[in-house]
Structures are given as C-alpha cells and as structure tokens.
Amino acid sequence: MEKTLVILKPSCLQRGLVGEVTKRFEQKGLRLAGMKMCQLTDDVLSEHYAHLAERPFFQLLKDAMMATPVIVCCFEGVGAVDVVRQMAGTTNGRKALPGTIRGDFSMSSQENIVHTSDSLENAAIELKRFFKDEEIFDYKSVSNAFIYASD
C-alpha cells in the first residue's frame, strides 16, 4: 500500500468541486487516511514549490494557493501515487485528457483544482509537511477484498 498527498486547491473550493473530486478518489477504491482544512502560508508554499522558485509564476502560484483555505488529503491504495496522478491529469487543464479531474474541470495551468504528489519519495515528504503523525489514520478498509482480490 502507498500513501499520497492530494491538496484540494482554492479553485476546487471556489468551484464547489470538493465533493466531486473526493468522490472520484473514493469511488476508485482509495482509502481516505487523513483530511483537514487549512490556510497555507508563504513559508510552507515556498518549501512545497521550491522546484519552481526560479519560474516567473512562482509568487502568483503561491498567492493563488493562499487565496482561500485548502483541504489536504491523504489517500492510500496499491500504487496510489501513480493512480492519483493519472486521475488528476497533466498540469495544464486545457491539455489534460477528458476523464481526468483537470481535463474535466480546469482550463488553466495555475487554477488546476488539485495538487498530487509526483513520486513515492515526495509523497512521504509532503505528507510530513502537511500532517502530524496522529492525523493519518490506519483503520482497516473492509472493502479491500472486493477492490483488489488477489492482485
């Protein structure tokens, strides 16, 4: 089982898509292991988006992520990092495939509804950034036998 971070961005909250996006991950068979609303700060976003610090849109991106509170989620499942990333679609909503979250709900690179961790290593770092250990819950999902069978 892998755990991955999803952030429901201000565009998700403003567009009234929190239920829709969460529903997609739940219906896929991912287990919700943690979820909370929080107001992000410039400091945490500078760390989270450090790989984009030299890009011209860096401050705009951070401002957009602070425009409203966000909802941070931890989803768990077999191969969860890649599954969630594929469900989100490519960064630019205009280029993301229909059927993906960004492909269905975004027309923008910046306002693209969700953040998803891009590797297992980064998922672990990002989950630590946004959650305390006691905010991640390891309860047993009774439906796993019907989600995964032997594979």
Q: Is 91 in the site for ligand UDP (CB under 6 A)?
A: yes
Q: Is 57 in the site for ligand UDP (CB under 6 A)?
A: yes
Cβ(53)–Cβ(46) below 8 Å:
yes
Site for ligand UDP in 14-53 (CB under 6 A): 52
Number of alpha carbons in the 13 Å side-chain half-sphere of residue 28? 25
Is 115 an annotated catalytic residue? yes
What is d(CA 60, CA 120) in angstroms, rounded to the nearest whole number?
27
Candidate segments 76-84, 107-115, 122-130, 133-141, binder of ligand UDP by CB under 6 A: 107-115
What is d(CA 129, CA 111) in angstroms, rounded to the nearest whole number?
22
For residue 14, what are the CA distances in angstroms to 9, 10, 52, 70, 132?
A: 9, 6, 24, 10, 26
Question: Which of 68, 86, 109, 141 touches ligand UDP by CB under 6 A?
Answer: 109
Q: Which entry of 115, 116, 117, 123 is annotated as an active-site residue?
A: 115
Q: How far is the CB of 77 from ligand UDP (least distance, A)?
A: 19
Q: What is the DSSP-derived secondary structure letter of residue 31?
A: E
The set of catalytic residues is 115
Contacting positions for ligand UDP (CB under 6 A): 52, 57, 61, 91, 109-110, 112, 115, 118
